[in-house]
């Protein structure tokens, strides 16, 4: 953690992935970043704006965004953690079947907040009002991906975005 600026003359400390603003040792805010993908089933049905509205209405800000069409190999690297799972090939095939929208979202407790907004991985188990409940087609075609923790978020953001592309 480094002292990077001051607010009203008091030192303010920030860390990179998890930005806490600390005054007199009291944490006032925990601003976090998470990585998000709007998946092929959603981009094909023109749902990008509806999904972004869900994030924004819940208090998350889009601080980086790009629409890209992954190759199967690029999808394979992104989902390498699932390499041994029986659905890995199907997942990589699907993620490279049409364009995706990759995003960095920022806000208080962004990682867990985003997971709440998305809902359970399987839309059959997702809560009312969540993205997956409203839009997902199946467990595989579940409309969105979101990082599951701070380390994963940092890794996933760096796979898709350079520092220059993230505007907070
Ligand atoms: P995501 O959050 O992107 O992380 C891994 C993805 O694998 C997950 O969402 C699902 O879309 C997909 N997935 C998980 N389990 C299965 C499964 N049993 N069959 C097909 N796809 C799956």
- Give the residue ranges of the chain where pLDDT is below 70: 1-29
Cβ–Cβ under 8 Å, residues 160 and 103: no
Q: Among 142, 144, 155, say which to mutate for ligand 1: greatest number of ligand atoms within 8 Å of CB.
A: 142
**How many CB atoms are located within 10 Å of the residue 29 CB?**
12
Rounded distance from Cα 18 to ligand 1 centre (Å)? 26
Non-local (6+) Cβ contacts of 5 within 8 A are 12, 14
CB of 132 shorter than 6 A to ligand 1: no
CB of 141 shorter than 6 A to ligand 1: no
CB of 145 shorter than 6 A to ligand 1: yes
Question: Which residue from 58, 14, 21, 13 is spatially nearest to 36, judged by alpha carbons?
Answer: 58
Query: CA-to-CA distance for 149 and 152, rounded, in angstroms?
Result: 5
Query: CA-to-CA distance for 146 and 109, rounded, in angstroms?
Result: 13
In sign, the C-alpha dihedral spanning 95, 96, 98, 103 is: positive
Task: Output the pLDDT for position 1.
Answer: 35
The model carries a pTM of 0.86
Task: Output the pLDDT for position 156.
Answer: 98
Dump pLDDT digits (tens) for 104-140: 999 999 999 999 999 999 999 999 999 999 999 999 9
Task: Output the pLDDT for position 24.
Answer: 53
Verify whether residue 69 is a known catalytic residue: no
The helix or strand, by DSSP H or E, that contains position 18, with its residue range, turns out to be strand 18-23
């Amino acid at each position: 953690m480094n002292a990077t600026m001051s607010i009203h003359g008091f030192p303010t400390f920030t860390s990179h992935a998890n930005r806490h603003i600390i005054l007199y040792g009291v944490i006032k805010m925990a601003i976090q970043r998470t990585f998000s993908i709007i998946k092929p089933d959603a981009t094909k049905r023109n749902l990008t704006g509806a999904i972004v509205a869900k994030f924004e209405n819940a208090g998350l800000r889009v601080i980086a965004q790009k629409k890209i069409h992954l190759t199967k190999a690029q999808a394979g690297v992104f989902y390498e953690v699932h390499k041994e799972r029986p659905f890995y090939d199907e997942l990589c095939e699907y993620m490279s079947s049409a364009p995706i929208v990759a995003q960095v979202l920022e806000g208080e407790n962004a990682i867990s907040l985003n997971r709440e907004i998305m809902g359970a991985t399987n839309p059959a188990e997702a809560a009312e009002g969540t993205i997956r409940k409203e839009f997902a087609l199946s467990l595989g075609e579940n409309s969105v991906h979101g990082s599951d923790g701070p380390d994963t978020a940092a890794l996933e953001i760096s796979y898709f975005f350079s520092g220059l592309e993230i505007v907070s």
